Chain A
Amino acid sequence: MAGVTQVQTTLNGEVINFLCEPRQSLLECLRDVLGMTGTKEGCNDGNCGACTVIMDGRIVDSCLVLGVEAEGKDITTIEGMATPEGLHPLQQSFLENAALQCGICTPGFLLASKGLLDQEPDADEGRIRHWLAGNLCRCTGYDKIVRAVLQVSKAK
């Protein structure tokens, strides 16, 4: 059995501490150690994007990040997207545009889209399609997802 390490990180705006084994991924730490199951596992090898979170302003597949690498980082997960005042505009747009069917890929798409619009608030369709190519959705054919992001983008 591997020993455990204490990790301090900023998660959705709050400084927290957790214990993890060196072999545990950030995805595993979020879901199994911290009980935050909003981040989803689709492949566990960095190819589907379902576990996308934002780390220090960059989108990452949390299955490819070790829990110990979260030390000193600033991480946003799906649980941190809405505020007490209401849903994030992207969340609202996904609902209104029927941009989800089964919903398993949705947290990852929302974080990836947020990561894009935070940096490029006027991303156009081509840019959105390029950026979201790391996130797989098998239900929608992407049409309504791209439209939902486009509606929030200033480029619409």
Chain B
Amino acid sequence: MTSNQVLSEVEYNVVGTRPVRPDGVDKVTGRARYGDDTNLTGTLQAKVLRSPHPHARVKSIDTSKAEAFPGVRAVITAKDLPFASLSKEELGGDYTALKFATDHMMASDKVLFKGHPIAAIAAVNGHVAQSAMDLIEVEYEVLESVVDVREAMKPGAALLHEDLRTNDMGETADTPSNISTHMSYATGDLEKGFAEADLVMEKEYTTATVHQGYIEPHNTTAFWNSDGQLNLWTSTQGSFQVRATVSNILRLPVSQIKVTPMEIGGGFGGKITAYLDAICAVLSKKTGSPVKAIMTRTEVFEASGPAPASWMRVKIGVKNNGKITAVETEMAMDAGAYPGSPVMQAIVCAFACYDVENGKVDGYDVVVNKPKSAAYRAPGAPQAAFAVESLIDEICGELKIDPIDFRLLNAAKEGTRRIEGLVAKRIGLVECLEAARDHDHYKSKLENGTGRGVACGYWPNRGFQSSVVMTVNYDGVVSLIMGSVDIGGTRASIAQQTAETLGIAYEDVKPTVVDTDSIGYTFITGGSRTAFATGIAAISAAEDVKEQMISRAAKIWDTSEDDIEFVAGMISHKSDEELRLSFKDLARQTATTGGSITGRSSVDPSGEGNGHAVHIADVSVDQETGKTDVTRFTAIQDAGKAVHPSYVEGQMQGGAVQGIGWALNEEYFFDDTGKMLNSSFLDYRMPTSLDLPMIDTVIVEVANPGHPYGVRGVGEAAICPPMAAVANAVTSATGNRMRSLPITPGKILEAGWDSVKS
């Protein structure tokens, strides 16, 4: 069987081990409580009526018949939201941003995508609510829609927002446009760089709209109590993010909202946006009952996520020896119905793997009549990596240079200044490339009809705020309280960092994820930040515990704190060997020396480690059907220090497979007006176990100088290389270059026919 390797530089006692996760038993026995498992007495079920049109003006809505339907308790429309009843002055803040946020949740004057909420019903059960939906009468004036990102950019294209004007590098345009923002960075002398090149190649690339594809649909239960307190139990990557969104839309102080994050069934960025929470809250206020909503799978596809489709032009100049002299790209991403695509991250990440002297990157954020795009694992970077890594492969073919040698020659390293100006600290791209070059996969012979591709990818990773509280129980077991939602094993990885710092066993740390009233502000679980930033908060809270333990020992021994040291879970007098207490022994004495010990920490770390990944893909392509099978796949990534190597491998494998799906199968099919035609898991085809080989992994550990144990986030870099790795492998197998995702059998066959013709 194939292998998983860890290339460790430093070993710790607990960090780097593979314990069973604390929430594991609950999750394999069905006892873990996810959002839809919330059941309060008297809960009503909500259903959302959604627009059948991608672009239309709402002329009128008549809810009277639905309201009269037996079993229906309340019907709401945008008129029931504060935005409709308050003046511009009363609303305050950024009026346009608030209108977009409110309208996205429930359309007022216009619907901008098929699936746009238009009304919601709370009824005694879901079947009744569903039946009553047919009784809501909405009169629409259907408008011309625009679906393609480049079409939407053209003058004269159908306009989504009459008042949206392009922000062009800080300057606001005079006339409305679908281009929300144009951003640009440059370094060096582009003209000179391209003039120095022996070879200049320029190509265009496109990627399709794809969905995050979490298995658990969005869900929320809301109860607006008669004392004015709003309680939400929901599936989210960020309980404080939900609180902020609901507070903003409902004009409520944050302290009046308590969000309890339930177990979350996948998110990948798609569960940062709060879609249902404010709707259920208003229905709860109107009915006085708890109200629960769960999206159908069709609603998940049509009204949540997705990741944007993109158009990208990339130009690279190189010397004959492979040294890059200049790079340039223009990238346009569709944000969906409201501004906010991740094109900024796309242009920042595009060339981040390379030491580039002369470069220019331009990005365009464009609105179209599709669901508003949401974050999806390294948002923006996978599309950019597909384009750049494909062109580099093409250049390597032209120059007959090994693709890993080419990348090693040009790789970013410590001190490399990127196009947007950031200077890299110690990063592990070179080590990842070397591990790829030395891997037996890369050295192995290819069979006939198969091809091999490599690509690398980059994601900056995030820091931001995290809070942790920990209490020392009298038996020496530490209760670890945090606000970071556990989406894939962070209870374990934060507990490991706590245990390591305190010098105690992993089993002696009991982690709990709590609601927004019970912990300080904690940013989302996303951006590859949790093991890093919440880890730092836990380490810092554990240091707080250690200081207090030292002070207790000083009290017991009647000595100065300066005479005491805390090493590997033992509290000892520096000069008197007799005076030694284990963590547990001292914990037993806390009751008699001043009471319980509580450590706490709120942090906002910078120092997030830059994440790099290199993937090797082998594919076989069926010449008759055009079907591509991934036959071998190796994912290599710098984890800084893998806290729980199994969960790091899981992130690498999961990211690789989402990327394989993005490369080969996954896409939204839209009709000409923007109606999605494949909104089920049957027709939106994600990879199954049958489509894949084992995903081999190599964890490279180049310590992040910004974290005490060298930890870097690992969730996102893994989805950046696979599309280009697969596309490059398809070229290697067929001789044809695929510049449009997904690489469907049809596209492969057509490319084959075209190459025969020419």
A and B are partners in one complex rather than unrelated chains: yes
Binding site for B on A (CB under 8 A): 1, 21, 23, 31, 35-45, 47-48, 50, 77-79, 81-82, 87, 91, 94-98, 100-107, 110, 128-130, 132-147
B417 interface residue per 8 A CB criterion:
no
B654 touches A110 (CB 8 A): no
Given contacts A47-B680, A47-B682, A102-B487, contact A78 B29 (CB under 8 A): yes
Interface locus among B386-394, B552-560, B645-653: B645-653
Indicate whether B421 reaches chain A with its CB closer than 8 angstroms. no
For the complex formed, measure the closest distance between the CB of B315 and the CB atoms of chain A, giving whole angstroms.
Answer: 34
B690, closest chain A residue (CB): A133
Contact check: which of B31, B647, B689, B692 meets A98 at CB < 8 Å? B647
The residues of A that contact B476 with a CB separation of less than 8 Å are none
Asked if B457 CB lies within 8 Å of chain A CBs, one says no
Would A40 and B216 count as touching, CB distance under 8 A? yes
Q: How far is the CA of A47 from the CA of B25 in the complex (A)?
A: 26
Q: Are A100 and B28 in contact (CB under 8 A)?
A: yes
A147 to B697, CA, bound (A): 14
Residues of A near B489 (CB, < 8 A) are 98, 101
State whether A132 and B30 are in contact (beta carbons under 8 Å apart), knowing that A95-B20, A101-B654, A103-B265 are contacts in the complex. Answer: no
| Distance between Cα atoms of A104 and B30 in the complex (Å) | 9
Q: Which of chain A's residues have a CB closer than 8 A to the CB of B20? A: 95-96
Q: Is B127 an interface residue (CB 8 A)?
A: yes
Q: Of B34, B649, B656, B686, which one neighbours A138 at CB under 8 angstroms?
A: B686
> Chain B 282-299 against A: per-residue CB contact (8 Å), 1 yes, 0 no?
000000000000101100
CA distance A129 to B20 in the complex (A): 24
- B24–A140 CB distance below 8 A: no
Contacts of B213 in A (CB 8 A): 136, 138
Contacts of A146 in B (CB 8 A): 689, 694
Does B701 reach chain A (CB closer than 8 Å)? Answer: no
| Known contacts A45-B297, A139-B654, A146-B689, A37 near B215 by CB under 8 Å | no
Is B455 interfacial (CB-CB < 8 Å)?
no
Chain A residues whose C-beta falls within 8 Å of the C-beta of B342 in the assembled complex: none
Which of A35, A40, A94, A145 has a CB less than 8 Å from the CB of B34? A40
| CB-based contact A40/B127 at 8 Å | no
Across the two chains, which residue of chain A brings its CB closest to B45?
A: A32
When the two chains form their complex, are residues A41 and B217 in contact, meaning their CB atoms are under 8 A apart?
A: yes
Q: How many Å lie between the Cα of A143 and that of B650 in the bound state? A: 8
B268 at interface (Cβ–Cβ under 8 A)? yes
Contacts of A142 in B (CB 8 A): 657, 687-689, 692
**Among candidates A36, A104, A132, residue contacting B215 with C-beta atoms closer than 8 Å:** A104
Return A82 CB to nearest CB of chain B, in Å.
5
Q: Between A and B, how many residue pairs show CB distances below 8 Å?
A: 185
Contact A133 B297, CB 8 Å, known A47-B680, A107-B30, A140-B650: no
**Is the C-beta of B574 less than 8 angstroms from some C-beta in chain A?**
no
Task: Assess the A44–B29 pair: CB atoms within 8 A.
Answer: no
Contact, CB under 8 Å: B266 / A102: yes
Q: Is B18 in contact with chain A by the CB < 8 A criterion?
A: yes
In contact, A106 and B33 (Cβ under 8 angstroms): no
Q: Which residues from 1 to 30 on chain B have a C-beta closer than 8 Å to any C-beta of chain A?
A: 18, 20-21, 23-25, 27-30
Q: How far, in angstroms, from A48 to B683 measured CA to CA in the complex?
A: 12
User: Could you say which of A38, A43, A96, A134 contacts B297, with CB atoms under 8 Å apart?
Assistant: A43
Is B569 interfacial (CB 8 A cutoff)?
no
Other A-B pairs beyond A91-B29, A102-B214, A146-B689, 10, CB < 8 Å: A87-B28, A91-B28, A98-B649, A98-B650, A101-B487, A102-B216, A102-B267, A129-B689, A136-B688, A141-B658
| Nearest B residue to A128, CB-CB | B689
Residue of B nearest to A50 (CB): B215
Question: Please, how many angstroms separate the alpha-carbon atoms of A43 and B300 in the complex?
Answer: 9
Q: Is B103 an interface residue (CB 8 A)?
A: no
Report yes or no: B296 in contact with A102, Cβ–Cβ below 8 A. Answer: no
A141 lies within 8 A of B692 (CB): yes
Convert B667-683 into 0s and 1s, putting 1 for each residue whose CB lies closer than 8 angstroms to a CB of A. 00000000000001110
Q: Is the CB of B297 within 8 A of A44?
A: yes
The distance in angstroms between the C-alpha atoms of A133 and B685, with both chains bound, is: 12
Chain B residues within an 8 Å CB radius of A106: 27-28
Q: What bracket does the count of chain B residues touching chain A fall in?
A: 35 or more
Inter-chain CA distance A10–B36, complex, in Å, is: 25
B30 pairs with A38, CB closer than 8 A: yes
Is B695 located at the chain interface by the 8 A CB criterion?
A: yes
For B18, the chain A residues whose CB sits under 8 A away are: 98
Interchain CA distance A78-B656 in the complex, whole Å: 29
The residue among A48, A78, A102, A140 with the most chain B CB atoms within 10 A of its own CB is: A102
Contact B689 A138 (CB under 8 A): no
**Taking each of A36, A106, A129, A138, which has the highest tally of chain B beta carbons within 10 Å of its own beta carbon?**
A138
Is B32 engaged at the interface, CB distance under 8 Å to the other chain? yes
A138 in contact with B217 given A23-B127, A44-B297, A79-B29 (CB within 8 Å): no
| Bound form: Cα–Cα A5–B266 in Å | 36
B23 contacts across to A, CB distance below 8 A: 103
Q: Which residues of B contact A137 (CB under 8 A)?
A: 215, 689
A140 to B688 Cα, complex, angstroms: 11
Cα distance, A39 to B658, chains bound together (Å)? 25
Expressed in whole angstroms, the Cα–Cα distance for A79 and B31 within the complex equals 8
Residues of A within 8 A of B695 (CB): 141, 143
B503 within 8 A of A: no
Residues A138 and B28 in contact, CB atoms below 8 Å apart: no
Q: Which of A100, A134, A138 contacts B658 (CB 8 A)?
A: A138
Residues in A whose Cβ lies below 8 Å from that of B646 = 97-98, 144
**Residues of A with C-beta under 8 A to B687:** 141-142
Interface CB pairs A-B, < 8 A, 6: A39-B30, A44-B297, A48-B215, A102-B263, A102-B266, A141-B687
What residues of A have a CB within 8 angstroms of the CB of B488 in the complex? 101-102, 139
Contacts of A39 in B (CB 8 A): 30
How far, in Å, is B174 (CB) from chain A's closest CB?
A: 45
A100 to B692, CA, bound (A): 17
